[in-house]
A and B are shown apart, each in its own frame.
Chain A
Amino acid sequence: MNAQHQPTGSAYFIAAETARPESHTLSVLVDNEPGVLARVIGLFSGRGYNIESLTVSETEHEAHLSRITIVTTATPNVLEQIKSQLERIVPVHRVVDLTVRSAELGHDKPLERELALIKVSGTGDNRVEALRLADAFRAQVIDANTEHFIFEITGRVSKIEQFIAIMRPLGLVEICRTGIAAMNRGPQGM
């Protein structure tokens, strides 16, 4: 969302940033109160950090806790800053860099899933082809008439993007994606 790749902090970063930016997935546990999402998003825009994906929903109703999952790309130094800055927000309980944590746990990367709704309209061969491919991708038909389908597909981001690319020439009309939900493998909590 913020396309800037500026190093953060002082304007006196004259030296070119040599570290390579990495994509990391952060889980942020927050109090579910008004304005909390604005605080998180405002932090990212105000300090020039990237947001590539963001999902948020209440996860523990009794405790009024929500879980925000953010995918961001930054150099290791900036990632450390992002985590510290998020932890300064008063209603933030915990920030876990799932990418770092999964490496600590000996895994390749965190489990990441996204859900997409995809509307495809058409008749004839295209329609048959769309349905056949949807089946191959294990996408569900959740609405249809003689001129369209709405597919529900869940999976890794790459799978969804591939499915969208395939549907594009077959009459793609509309896409809605949830953004990434993520968690680490194994019995431990976040």
Chain B
Amino acid sequence: MAGKQMEMTGAEMVLQALKDNGVEHIFGYPGGAVLPIYDELHQQDDIEHILVRHEQGAGHMAEGYARSTGKPGVVLVTSGPGATNVVTALQDALMDSIPLVCLTGQVPTSLIGSDAFQECDTVGITRPCTKHNWLVKDVNQLSRVIHEAFRIATTGRPGPVVVDIPKDVQFATGIYTPPSPVIEQKSYQPKLSGDLEKIRAAIDLMAGAKRPIIYSGGGVINSGREASQLLRELVELTGFPITSTLMGLGAYPASGKNWMGMLGMHGTYEANMAMHDCDVMICIGARFDDRITGRLDAFSPNSKKIHIDIDPSSINKNVHTDIGILGDIGHVLEDMVRLWRASKKTDRSQLADWWTQIAKWKGRNSLAYPSNKDVIMPQYAIQRLYELTKNRDTYITTEVGQHQMWAAQFYGFEEPNRWMTSGGLGTMGYGFPAAVGVQVAHRDSLVIDIAGDASIQMCIQEMSCAVQYELPVKIFILNNQYMGMVRQWQQLLHGNRLSHSYTESMPDFVMLAEAYGGVGIRCDKPDDLDGAIQQMIDTPRPVIFDCRVAALANCFPMIPSGKAHNEMLLPDEATDEAVANAIDAKGRALV
């Protein structure tokens, strides 16, 4: 009945609008202020609802769902605590540019402002942590607002939106208007195509480069699969080395010959040194975050910088850009590839010295770690996990901390949308619900949350959800009994005084898995690891894998706070003394 207006209740409109926007799954938790919508959900089969155990879980599941599919994730929660619990996930999605549509119930319009039961100022609370939000007081505006919400969440720089719907509006009857192909909104018009003059100037600059580097980010993945293809094509055509942010892993394959590994605080030596010494930097869909740049006044001091981004506020925010190209990565890369092909300047020999230098840096083997026959090294655990899963249809999520950095360093991503991690906000508790969301979208795939023993306990309740929906998510815990990254920073910054970073009382993760109805596996010997990982892969149920690893391993290489790219702390130089003196007084104040 597309294009036809129909009379229905607000709650019916919500379901209709979700269907009309192509929604198949939503993540939610019922409560007083959303009961009319839940009643409608009960009476239909088109949309599958996943019942979470905590609203934060719903938000992260929707994020995982969105990142692995490229479609918006949809969340449905009640008023008051339902809405406030989802705030962390909203901010997470805002910082990582993930499209989420979050529907919240609200107390009836007549009670708004009266401190009613389970009332909170949802639009006020979520205003700074959403791309946009709405309180819908008129049922006749509801369908328009929901359609607009999907458009804003998914276009331009994607992000989370909130639609707050008072209970009386859900009950009220009004006119439903289907999504219109004609966009009525005048104020919000994201620009897709880049300025051709600037793209030409960028191509000229690149053609003359002797020490170029491509630095790509999550924007490439957000732009869609074609953007990743075009990026690969551009790298192939130019012969330039490429590094990526945490968010951008997989856009260019880790097995690709021009791949330098991740850059930034825990990036490879070669990637960071190349960033520092390059003469032309091409930043594609990344935002010069502080984890990437290190000390700004020493950041890549002698390079011309080209920055492609869809968000004008990202250009020239932290780092001065010589050529800023505003537009969608896919569109701009298409032009770049076309113009590069048309130009005759493809003399690869001018890059020979640069590649020789890069090979020297690579020779430093900055990801090296001491091997150990008796204790599982965390890096080794990730390497084995990678080797045993790389030929499967695998998705990886992580929590936040050392394990996250080791996963980024040692797991090789060949395709986009296969890697889900909380980059901007750094949300402990993200990975497991995100993995559940990924598994909802990809029932037959292998979905693994690489976790830490501290992070996993922040959203562990979703085990119950995974078991209920028979989602065989695997939680691979690098268990070192510490909040490893906190401990590492205390060692670096605070004289190794390990204030509250050791978990003295840890649950028995095997029994915990069993208590939830899942499967628990424990492994503490390097020799047993492959067999245990294989057992995890072969188990068609949710698994918690308690991988006991070396307790005091540090994550290297590292750019200490307040230092530049060429001042990395490398694993073979990281003596206790070097670690203790790595950060000076100024750096200590930074995060």
Asked whether, in the complex, the Cβ of A12 is within 8 Å of the Cβ of B317, the reply is no
Interface flags, B288-316, vs A, CB<8A=1, else 0: 11100111110000000000000111011
B187: chain A residues at CB < 8 Å are 30-31, 90-93
A176: chain B residues at CB < 8 Å are none
Q: For the complex, what is the distance from the CA of A88 to the CA of B317, rounded to whole Å?
A: 14
Asked whether, in the complex, the Cβ of B131 is within 8 Å of the Cβ of A90, the reply is yes
Task: Give chain A's interface residue range (CB within 8 Å of chain B).
Answer: 20 to 34
What residue in chain A is nearest B148 (Cβ atoms)? A90
Asked whether, in the complex, the Cβ of B293 is within 8 Å of the Cβ of A10, the reply is yes
**Residue B183 at the A interface, CB < 8 A?**
no
**Residue A11 at the B interface, CB < 8 A?**
yes
Report which residue of A11, A38, A93 has the largest number of chain B beta carbons within 10 angstroms of its beta carbon.
Answer: A11
B193 to chain A minimum Cβ distance, whole angstroms, is 18
What residue in chain A is nearest B133 (Cβ atoms)? A35
Q: For the complex, what is the distance from the CA of A10 to the CA of B424, rounded to whole Å?
A: 12
Q: Which of B82-90, B122-130, B410-418 contacts A (4 or more CB under 8 A)?
A: B122-130
Contact (A10, B124) CB under 8 Å given A84-B312, A88-B311, A91-B187: no
Q: Is the interface of A mostly helix, strand, loop or mixed?
A: mixed
Report which residue of A10, A81, A85 has the largest number of chain B beta carbons within 10 angstroms of its beta carbon.
Answer: A10
Q: For the complex, what is the distance from the CA of A10 to the CA of B289, rounded to whole Å?
A: 7
**Residue A23 at the B interface, CB < 8 A?**
no
Asked whether, in the complex, the Cβ of B132 is within 8 Å of the Cβ of A90, the reply is yes
Asked whether, in the complex, the Cβ of B135 is within 8 Å of the Cβ of A12, the reply is no
A85: chain B residues at CB < 8 Å are 313
A119 to chain B minimum Cβ distance, whole angstroms, is 33
B590: chain A residues at CB < 8 Å are 11-12
What residue in chain A is nearest B124 (Cβ atoms)? A38
A91: chain B residues at CB < 8 Å are 132, 187-188
What residue in chain B is nearest A86 (Cβ atoms)? B313
Asked whether, in the complex, the Cβ of A77 is within 8 Å of the Cβ of B562, the reply is no
**Residue A39 at the B interface, CB < 8 A?**
yes
**Residue A60 at the B interface, CB < 8 A?**
no
Asked whether, in the complex, the Cβ of B124 is within 8 Å of the Cβ of A12, the reply is no
Q: For the complex, what is the distance from the CA of A128 to the CA of B150, rounded to whole Å?
A: 66
**Residue A80 at the B interface, CB < 8 A?**
yes
Asked whether, in the complex, the Cβ of B127 is within 8 Å of the Cβ of A90, the reply is no
Asked whether, in the complex, the Cβ of A11 is within 8 Å of the Cβ of B290, the reply is yes
What residue in chain B is nearest A43 (Cβ atoms)? B128
Which of B123, B131, B152, B586 is the one whose CB lies under 8 Å from A35? B123
A92: chain B residues at CB < 8 Å are 187
Asked whether, in the complex, the Cβ of A12 is within 8 Å of the Cβ of B132, the reply is no
**Residue A106 at the B interface, CB < 8 A?**
no
B311: chain A residues at CB < 8 Å are 84, 88
Known contacts A30-B187, A84-B317, A87-B313; can you find 14 more A-B pairs with CB under 8 A? Answer: A9-B317, A10-B288, A10-B289, A10-B296, A12-B295, A13-B296, A42-B127, A42-B128, A46-B128, A81-B317, A84-B311, A90-B132, A90-B152, A91-B132
